Amino acid sequence: MCLEVLVQIADGAPGRIGGKRLAELSGLVVTSSRLDEKPALHLSVSGGCSCAFLAKRARHRNNTWDLEPEHVPKLLAAIRALNSEAQKYRLVACWLNGDVERTEQRTTGAKLLQLVGSNQLGENVVYRTWHELRDTGFQ
């Protein structure tokens, strides 16, 4: 199985950020993908899957990812750029065709930065950075 880190910007986001700009700001490889059958951006360290984000001796702890410390700053840079330019987005890190049930959690961009920085990014948790209950932004 391969790790996939995906970002989906809401249709009603205050700003848009494309893959090219996100790659420039973060140093990551950003390609087009899909999340829940809608357009998304795929984040990776060197192209292909996102497995390079995993620590070399990754342990599975409480359904959180054990991230490679060397690559965390790039992921944090991507989240900062999304917080600044898009503001309304979803981010998920999941095994491709994995068996952990997907959940969704509302959060703030600042809290998401904190989760990633402290190596607490949940497995197959979709972090949504806005709070409107009716507007999913993904029609």
Q: For 73-126, what is each residue's pLDDT tens digit? A: 999 999 999 999 999 999 999 888 777 889 999 999 999 999 999 988 998 999
54 assigned to some structural domain: yes
Give the pLDDT score at 59: 56
- Residue 17, SS3? coil
User: Global pTM?
Assistant: 0.88
Give the pLDDT score at 82: 97
- Per-residue pLDDT band at 60 (split at 50, 70, 90): low
104 assigned to some structural domain: yes
Q: How far from the centroid of its chain's Cα atoms is residue 7's Cα?
A: 5
Strand segments, DSSP code E, in the chain are 3-9, 29-35, 38-44, 89-95, 103-106, 125-128
93 assigned to some structural domain: yes
- How many Å apart are CA 121 and CA 131, to the nearest integer? 20
Give the pLDDT score at 139: 39
136 assigned to some structural domain: no
138 assigned to some structural domain: no
Domain count, the chain: 1
Provide the domain limits for residue 89: 3-128
β-strand 125-128 against 103-106: which pairing, if any? parallel
Give the pLDDT score at 20: 96
